[in-house]
Amino acid sequence: MIGGLFIYNHKGEVLISRVYRDDIGRNAVDAFRVNVIHARQQVRSPVTNIARTSFFHIKRSNIWLAAVTKQNVNAAMVFEFLYKMCDVMSAYFGKISEENIKNNFVLIYELLDEILDFGYPQNSETGALKTFITQQGIKGQHQTKEEQSQITSQVTGQIGWRREGIKYRRNELFLDVLESVNLLMSPQGQVLSAHVSGRVVMKSYLSGMPECKFGMNDKIVIDKQGKGGTTDDPVKSELGGSGKQSIAIDDCTFHQCVRLSKFDSERSISFIPPDGEYELMRYRTTKDIILPFRVIPLVREVGRTKLEVKVVIKSNFKPSLLAQKIEVRIPTPLNTSGVQVICMKGKAKYKASENAIVWKIKRMAGMKESQISAEIELLPTNDKKKWARPPISMNFEVPFAPSGLKVRYLKVFESKLNYSDHDVIKWVRYIGRSGIYETRC
Amino acid sequence: LKVINCCVWDPSGEIFELKAELNSDKKEKKKEAVKKVIASMTVGKDVSALFPDVVNCMQTDNLELKKLVYLYLMNYAKSQPDMAIMAVNTFVKDCEDPNPLIRALAVRTMGCIRVDKITEYLCEPLRKCLKDEDPYVRKTAAVCVAKLHDINAQLVEDQGFLDTLKDLISDSNPMVVANAVAALSEIAESHPNSNLLDLNPQTINKLLTALNECTEWGQIFILDCLANYMPRDDRESQSICERVTPRLSHANSAVVLSAVKVLMKFMEMLPKDLDYYGTLLKKLAPPLVTLLSAEPELQYVALRNINLIVQKRPEILKHEMKVFFVKYNDPIYVKLEKLDIMIRLASQANIAQVLAELKEYATEVDVDFVRKAVRAIGRCAIKVEQSAERCVSTLLDLIQTKVNYVVQEAIVVIKDIFRKYPNKYESVIATLCENLDSLDEPEARAAMIWIVGEYAERIDNADELLESFLEGFHDESTQVQLQLLTAIVKLFLKKPTETQELVQQVLSLATQDSDNPDLRDRGYIYWRLLSTDPVAAKEVVLAEKPLISEETDLIEPTLLEELICHIGTLASVYHKPPSAFVEGSRVHLRIPHTRVSTRPHPHSPLKCCPAPHSALGPAIVQVSTRKVPVILLGSRLWTLSITSAMPASLGGAPAVGGGLGDLFDLGGGVGMPTGSYVAPKTAWLLAMKAKGLEISGTFARRGGIIQMDLSLTNKAMSVMTDFAIQFNRNSFGLAPAGPMQVLTPLSPNQTIDVSLPLSMSGPVMKMEPLNNLQVAVKNNIDVFYFSCQYPLSLLFVEDGKMDRQVFLATWKDIPNDNEAQFQIKDIHLNSDVASNKLQGSNIFTIAKRTVEGQDMLYQSVKLTNGIWVLAEMRIQTGNPNYTLSIKCRAPEVCQFVYQCYELVLKN
């Protein structure tokens, strides 16, 4: 198991050091600094073995977090734990920065004592932790016996992510379907790979211990119901018959509140939600993806000292919708000496420090196209190596889900309190963003 | 090696100040002072001098302050054991506190203090906490047992904590169950043979129930524990799989990977024709692909594991090539791993896409990545024949870029392509030769030299090219020197008239001016071959080379099986067994098999190469030029040395005469015995169990060389080809010293005899019985498994004669408990004949004594692994029964040595 946990600043000074196992000595702290943080080379692996000791590290801005062990630990678990620790720390004091860590070191030690025992990760849900590890000093001594046992039963209980007795005057929930669409396209316009990775993020402000059921236009579910002969399919009414009726989900993963065995057997998503914001599910689709933009590049080398670049972008969605924050990044060679750009829409600039022409358009409706052309002058070099021609990348945001996912329902049941599904105010929003959206040129 | 101070630290000033603050009356000031102490501790300053002052703050009702003091105690108690006692009272009191959080805190902290006196006081509170009414306390106490076990294992056993811990597996609270499982698993690891975890269908059922309810971490502990369980039959195996599959949708990647591990292991037990088996295979792919959208560090762990899974079960991800395409912004470690998997998944169906990608990668910035991409193109050519032409032209394009390392890498792989497809692509040699000057890496230089030597007859100026290398002969690396030597000898054999001078020059450089023994030896061998019999030289040096195999970088099947059992762990990231990086770790795990003997196993490919390969290095290195001539020469030398060592066939050995005799007579000097006993061949594998392949065999030791003599008979209707053999780990590390040479296809009803030389350099694992050997033989049809037993006399070495004095001392030194006595009945030999006969099998008589008509023979035997066996044999005249006493430091071998005596004397 995890033998020790260290946090360093960018210079390699230790900010936090907690050792859990006897086989990890103080010299391990220095070994990591010398061999990884101060290493001349770029980091070649997130796992390093130094003198029969293994170091797992992740970086958040310029802070290094390292877990150390001498055993054959579950490596995936160690990384998951490090990420989780970052989440917990952010939930307590915001950004993970040197200053915040130094100011909160007592709290961090307290957390580390609680969420890692002898190197074994323990309950690390912030919802539960915040009930008894508080920044304003402990209330421990003032708690009643009932309160104490409530805390412990929550920390160890089956619903460790939610405490009892939550009350809201207005029961409200917000559902965000956030998708990032990824594309790799050949210069000829052939899709080399494309997938959507999506997340359903939920903000719930519900009283009591509500039981929720979430439904979407999952092909497997719809097909099953279709066979059953349901005529008034809610999907049709909601979508007004437009778009795809159902989507094929390649794979999905759920927050630990979702009953996985139920999903496995009935493919229904039921759960008792944590309070506040959390990620209900992640999913991935590869079939029938709506690619919001198409990039058509044309690069011509004119002699050895000049390049002509022309890039056309086409928007491919309903004309009534608007894409926002569009940015096209056209890489330029390292020996670029000057660039002249002409674009029909938006603003374009050559950024020498980034070796790219950055073309920004604030808004663009569907089924439109726009174009940029540039002349790039090059300094003659005797470097034999050809320019690697990195791909043209794009950023954008669109108000729909490129995978075609639609939320069909989110039902809330709370039998003990007197509010019903109809009393809950629900909000649904779809945002499609570019992930790695690249076209080779 | 104690604490290293990072900063200059003025003890008198700051410590003094802190001391005062710690003893302040004001609570707030006290707390601030303790905080300062902890801050100093963190950066490595030694604040142990404040021990009594800090401990004084312990008795407080402020929980935050208490936690800080505990943190300090955990750090310094070990260095101040006497003062640590001061804390005991407070701990014991806290363990009785009405607040469960405080009870748990106390027991948790006590377990972290590795001081004997504290540990003693821990037992009683721990016993109570294990049965506490509050689950939070129980789950903490469960882990505490593991802590205590780490400090004092005996104490844990004596106090009966293990049983209490086992009871917690049935606890009503899932988190308590999970922690108990974690603690038990860890403790069980240090008692490999104890049945501590005692997994049976009932406990498994409890674990599976808790699995649905506990935290993500608890699920990991439980799944990792489940993976060690051996289901009774395929039905149980299936029902566990069914209950584990929902975990594949968990958001935590570690839960997913641990579930994959359980499924990969238990699947092995399911019949392949079961519908469920196919369903399960299909269910595995999507979650594995999803892992690739995790954070990069986790992607890396996932990719290292996928690499193993793809080798074990290529069918799972065969349609998912695209997800392994490299993204421009991937960290380099992700890129390199993706590339590795792409090559493994490359097939005729997707090769066009793969090649297009690889060509793209070859123009990237990172040098390692570009090199690997170029090599990958070569591997594709070798793996998918239809693509070879496209690959070669892609490589030529890359050579035109003139980027130095790209060119060198391309040349190294083109050499392998030549070997795989002889007489097909040699037209490109001219282009390669143009780049001769730019090669500065030994491997590329060696590859180029190999090409020039191998195709000398087609290159007009081959002599000039090779001569140019010769100028700086001594500055070259050994790899290049060896290659140059061989290439020039090849050239000479092909064009003897013009190159006499050149060959003389290189031979004298190698034999006279070099102090590298390999180079010198090879030089001498060539020299003598050339001077005595050029025809033989031609046969040896220009012999036809065996084709190189497609996949040279596969992980050895036994290691792969072990690594599959470690999916998700560090072992799967390093691709090494835990014993390679964990001190004192347990022996390896194995995948359960239902049908052991002839289990169809189409996807565990056997390699022809004897050395275990790791997938860490680039694949093609394995067939690099450096090895080519060695293997080639090696196999020839092999037969030569054996024939010369066997007196009967000495005359038949071609071209062995004069000076060559002493060179090749490697075994002769040791004093070759003649009568080493070889048992007749016995049937090892029956045709009906092995799809028509019948194998019988025996073992022999000839002139210090161990051989496995096999007869392969084809009793099937179709021709058998592509034979290969491999051994499982065994007690003495027996392993094939070279590939099994079955050069011609085996037609129906034909039998071939093969002698396989064995080495002792394989991996070692104790077998039951000791001399058991598990063998896998592959042919074009399937892989077959059988086991056989070898006589221990195989391992008796030629220099096993012990000095008399040493014998006496050793005999006395070995405790009498290690002595074993045996009767050898019905032997009608006198002592001298018996002693001669035994000597033939390397059992040496050191001394003989005759006392009252009884001959006492004192004998010694040495095993290949250096174990000495001492024996006393009593022979009474007229009595056909001998008495044999054997003494050895490893008494388990005595039994087998006795068997050898009996075999030798009776035959």
Chain A: give the shortest CA distance to residue B74, in Å. Answer: 9
Please indicate, yes or no, whether the overall pTM of this predicted structure exceeds 0.80: no
Chain A: give the shortest CA distance to residue B287, in Å. Answer: 6
Q: Chain A contacts of B176, Cβ < 8 Å?
A: 156
Answer whether A152 sits within 8 Å of B101, measured CB to CB: yes
Distances (CA, A) of B314 to B260, B343, B551, B667: 15, 12, 13, 46
CA A370, chain centre distance (Å): 30
CA distance B35 to B68: 7
Chain A: give the shortest CA distance to residue B59, in Å. Answer: 14
Domain's final residue, options B790, B824, B859: B790
Q: Which residue of B has its CA nearest to A137?
A: B64
What pLDDT was estimated at residue B48? 86
Task: Write the pLDDT tens digit of every residue in B79-136.
Answer: 888 888 888 888 888 999 888 988 999 999 999 988 887 888 889 999 999 999 999 9
Domain's final residue, options B509, B532, B554: B554
Block residue for tokens 């689950």: B135
CA distance B129 to A113: 18
Stronger pLDDT, A267 or B630, i.e. the higher one? A267
Amino acid at B586: R
Which spans in B43-193 are helix H?
51-56, 63-76, 81-94, 100-112, 116-130, 135-151, 153-158, 161-167, 174-190
Do residues B826 and B891 share a domain?
yes
Do residues B698 and B782 share a domain?
yes
- CB-nearest to A80 from B139, B253, B296 is B253
CATH of residue B807? 3.30.310.10
CATH of residue B699? 2.60.40.1150
The residue among B309, B288, B292 whose CA lies nearest residue B555 is B309
What pLDDT was estimated at residue B474? 86
B136 at interface of A, judged by CB pairs closer than 8 A: yes
Contact B202, B184 (CB under 8 A): no
Q: Domain for residue B27, yes or no?
A: no
B423 at interface of A, judged by CB pairs closer than 8 A: no
**pLDDT confidence band for B611 (50 / 70 / 90):** very low
A93 at interface of B, judged by CB pairs closer than 8 A: no
Distances (CA, A) of A334 to A337, A339, A440, B685, B884: 9, 12, 18, 66, 84
What pLDDT was estimated at residue B636? 37
DSSP annotation of B57 reads T
Do residues B783 and B834 share a domain?
no
Do residues B746 and B799 share a domain?
no
Which residues, in sequence order, are bridge partners of residue A67? A5, A56
Distances (CA, A) of A393 to A157, A296, A434, B628: 47, 12, 9, 46
Do residues B418 and B467 share a domain?
no
Which residues, in sequence order, are bridge partners of residue B776? B726, B785
Which residue ranges in chain A fall short of pLDDT 70? Answer: 135-143, 227-244, 383-386
Answer whether B42 sits within 8 Å of A193, measured CB to CB: no
Q: Domain for residue B91, yes or no?
A: no
Chain A: give the shortest CA distance to residue B106, in Å. Answer: 12
The structure tokens listed for A136 are 């304003």
The structure tokens listed for A216 are 């979407």
Do residues B768 and B712 share a domain?
yes
CA B896, chain centre distance (Å): 28
Residues of chain A numbered 150-189 and touching chain B (CB < 8 Å):
151-153, 155-158, 160, 184, 186
Confidence check on the interface: ipTM exceeds 0.85, yes or no: no
The residue among B255, B320, B249, B244 whose CA lies nearest residue B289 is B320
Q: Domain for residue B31, yes or no?
A: no
Contact B298, A76 (CB under 8 A): yes
Q: Given a cut of 80, is residue B535 above it in pLDDT?
A: yes
Distances (CA, A) of A223 to A227, A243, A281, B718: 6, 17, 21, 49
Secondary structure of residue B447 in the 3-state scheme: helix
Q: Domain for residue B583, yes or no?
A: no
Q: Range with the lowest mean pLDDT among B81-95, B411-425, B533-547, B589-603?
A: B589-603
Q: Exposed, middle or buried by CB within 10 Å (0-12, 13-18, 19+), for A436?
A: middle
Answer whether A83 sits within 8 Å of B295, measured CB to CB: yes
Q: How many CB atoms lie within 10 A of CB A423?
A: 12
The structure tokens listed for B798 are 């030629």
What pLDDT was estimated at residue B646? 36
Do residues B717 and B761 share a domain?
yes
Answer whether A149 sits within 8 Å of B212, measured CB to CB: no
Q: Given a cut of 70, is residue B150 above it in pLDDT?
A: yes
- CB-nearest to B325 from A109, A193, A259 is A193
Domain's final residue, options B440, B461, B492: B440
Domain count, chain B: 4
Helix-then-strand count for chain B, H and E: 36, 13
Q: Domain for residue B40, yes or no?
A: no
Q: Chain A contacts of B111, Cβ < 8 Å?
A: 118
What pLDDT was estimated at residue A143? 65
DSSP annotation of B691 reads T
The residue among B796, B797, B483, B476 whose CA lies nearest residue B627 is B483
Q: Range with the lowest mean pLDDT among A239-248, B50-59, B673-682?
A: A239-248
What pLDDT was estimated at residue B182? 95
Q: Which residue of A has its CA nearest to B220?
A: A77
- CB-nearest to A152 from B135, B213, B302 is B135
- CB-nearest to B61 from A72, A141, A263 is A141
Answer whether A15 sits within 8 Å of B42, measured CB to CB: yes
Q: Given a cut of 70, is residue B670 above it in pLDDT?
A: no
What pLDDT was estimated at residue B716? 80
Q: Domain for residue B400, yes or no?
A: yes
Secondary structure of residue A107 in the 3-state scheme: helix
Chain B: give the shortest CA distance to residue A396, in Å. Answer: 18
Do residues B424 and B460 share a domain?
no
What's the whole-number mean pLDDT along residues B377-402?
90
Block residue for tokens 């071609």: B654
**pLDDT confidence band for B831 (50 / 70 / 90):** confident
What pLDDT was estimated at residue A377? 92
Do residues B801 and B894 share a domain?
yes
Give the range of the structural domain holding residue B458, as residue numbers without chain letter. 450-554
Do residues B412 and B507 share a domain?
no
Find the distance separating the first CA and the last CA of chain A, reported in whole Å: 48
Task: Write the pLDDT tens digit of every residue in B196-205.
Answer: 777 888 889 9
Q: Chain A contacts of B137, Cβ < 8 Å?
A: 152
CA distance B99 to B102: 5
Size of interface A-B (CB pairs under 8 A): 280
Q: Chain B contacts of A138, Cβ < 8 Å?
A: 62-64
Q: Domain for residue B157, yes or no?
A: no
Phi, psi for B552 (deg, rounded to 5): -100, -5
Q: Domain for residue B802, yes or no?
A: yes
Task: Write the pLDDT tens digit of every residue in B446-504.
Answer: 999 999 998 888 888 888 888 888 888 888 899 999 999 999 999 999 988 888 889 99
Phi, psi for A337 (deg, rounded to 5): -110, -30
Q: How many CB atoms lie within 10 A of CB A370?
A: 18
**Residues with Cβ < 8 Å from A122, sequence gap 6 or more?**
A114, A115, A116, B139, B175, B179, B215, B217
Do residues B804 and B902 share a domain?
yes
B71 at interface of A, judged by CB pairs closer than 8 A: yes
The number of C-alpha atoms within 13 Å of B830 and in the hemisphere containing its C-beta is: 3
Do residues B424 and B459 share a domain?
no
Block residue for tokens 């959507």: A196
